[in-house]
Structure 1
Amino acid sequence: MKPFHSYQNPSLAIDLVVFGYQQRTLSVLLLNRNEMPFKDTWTLPGAFLQMDERFKDTCSRVLKTKLGMDNVYLEQLYSFDEPERDPRGRVIAIAHYALINPKNFAITAGSMANDVQWFDIHQMPELGFDHQEIFTQALQRLRSKILYFPVGFELLDDLFTMPELHELYECILDTTIDRRNFRRKILDAQYIINTGKKREGLQNRHPDLYKFNKKLPKNAFQLNIN
């Protein structure tokens, strides 16, 4: 057996797909790079894993130093290991995705970016590296998970109306969902709690305000929209 030091070691990188929801639009946060490779190209935010870091530590560093964010919902997605995926050398990416409410954060670009912007997922620019593939897998994961786990509430205000929740699901799933069936299934699952408060400021309407049921047992929810 060859000694350990004789093996070539690939670099490990963390790439983040940051989803946000605002004005009935699902968006993704992209950076415009100011260095090679892919200079002046839009990419997902990311960084190389440092020797004393765990994956979640690198994610936190990227979110804080490159985007000005902290304490967000984060989930590991998949590894991307094509040998030629990065022109700088052998780099394996461990992709994660994050969900945020953009109203809660003032987004800032770090020193390695010309700009940082939200893009509607249907109007994205061409991405550098293999980041389009990473984004596509993250979107598929989100669309799958929102049917059985309450990740969608990370994208809404703490208090929300039933129409707002319905619009969120339609937006993420990119489909039309029957309002009455949706309401019945959500309430039957005890997925949300009526706070007894009303949304004010809407002409002739004062819809109920709900909040997420944080005591809902894990895996207790399945939303069949068919």
Structure 2
Amino acid sequence: MRIDHLSKQQPAHPGIIHVEPLFLPENVIKALTIDNLIFGLDNDELKVLLVKRHEPGHDNLWALPGGWIRYDENLRDAAARLLEEWTGVKNLYLEQLKAFGRIDRFPNERVVTIAYYALVSAENYQDVIALSAGDVHWASVNNLPELIYDHAEILSYGIKFLRHQVCHQPIGFNLLPEKFTLLQLQALYEAILNTTLDKPNFRRKIMKMDLLTPCNEKQQGVPHRAANLYRFDPEVYKQLSESGFSFEI
């Protein structure tokens, strides 16, 4: 994991520890930060990547991974840079969520944060999972530790927003492997929506959309009957959307 331009006075992760101005890199905007909500799917459970803070008054509390924005970068570029630094993965699905700027959200300083959410695919999850030790941890959204500052508020908003988005846009496919079964797809929606879906109705609705392409392959090495594998076809979705198609789960 790459960390940029550290000095002896700077903490190991300048992106997550908001320190006094004396210790800030010269090329960052003092009052503006990025906080990334990084979601992944693990054994049919929705998880979010958290980092542990080590600072007076907040030692051992967990936080969303993020960092300071440089003067010479756009907001999205800053979010993508910080996302890669924390996960080691490029080109993840990334969207801006909301700005959080409550006056008292940060002690002794006026700091506004721009929240983004990212979705880590099953293949990339296995790469990021190597970070899940010590000060970096994948936590279940249903069993969260105490979070620093207003990060619990940010995460709560982000989870609700994600639940709404997956029902109206096919972004959930970004959490799956490239090839997946219908059962895996249903488990994805059940994990995000925190509910149980009727299997026949779900499959009928999904297949009726014509967004899945059969891979003409079956699962390998599973202890049960191997299921057919599918791919999501973004080009078909684009064409259908231009014709007035509405994605609804």
Contact 1:40 1:114 in 2 (8 A): no
Deviations along 1:169-212, one digit per CA (max 9) or x if unpaired, are 11110111111111111111112111111112234512110000
How far apart in 2 are the matches of 1:116 and 1:10? 25
Contact 2:169 2:248 in 1 (8 A): no
How far apart in 1 are the matches of 2:131 and 2:73? 23
How far apart in 1 are the matches of 2:97 and 2:45? 22
Structure 2 letter corresponding to 1:222: F
Give the aligned partner of residue 155 of structure 1: 175
1:1-226 equivalences in 2 (<5 Å): 11-36=31-56, 38-101=58-121, 102-105=125-128, 107-108=130-131, 115-203=135-223, 205-215=225-235, 216-217=237-238, 218=241, 220-224=245-249
Deviations along 1:26-83, one digit per CA (max 9) or x if unpaired, are 0010000123462321000111211111111211221222332322110000111101
Structure 1 residues 82 and 149, CA gap change in structure 2 (3 angstroms):
same
2:210 alignment partner, SS class? coil
Number of equivalenced pairs: 213
How far apart in 1 are the matches of 2:222 and 2:199? 20
Contact 2:170 2:247 in 1 (8 A): no
Structure 1 residues 86 and 64, CA gap change in structure 2 (3 angstroms):
same
Contact 1:68 1:107 in 2 (8 A): no
Structure 2 letter corresponding to 1:115: D
1:64 alignment partner, SS class? helix
Q: Which has the higher contact order (CA 8 A, sep 6+)?
A: 1
Contact 1:191 1:221 in 2 (8 A): no
Identical aligned residues as a percent: 37
Q: Unpaired runs of 5+ in structure 2?
A: 1-28
Structure 1 letter corresponding to 2:247: Q
Give the aligned partner of residue 4 of structure 1: none
- TM-score normalized with structure 1 length: 0.87
- TM-score normalized with structure 2 length: 0.79
Q: Unpaired runs of 5+ in structure 1?
A: 1-8
Kindly report the root-mean-square deviation, in angstroms, between the aligned alpha carbons of the 2 structures.
Answer: 2.1
Structure 1 residues 107 and 88, CA gap change in structure 2 (3 angstroms):
farther
Structure 1 residues 92 and 180, CA gap change in structure 2 (3 angstroms):
same
Structure 2 letter corresponding to 1:95: A
Give the aligned partner of residue 6 of structure 1: none
- Counting helix residues as a fraction of each chain, which structure ranks higher? 2
CA drift at 1:107: 4.6
1:132 alignment partner, SS class? helix
Give the aligned partner of residue 21 of structure 2: none
Structure 2 letter corresponding to 1:28: V
2:185 alignment partner, SS class? helix
Contact 1:32 1:42 in 2 (8 A): yes
1:146 alignment partner, SS class? helix
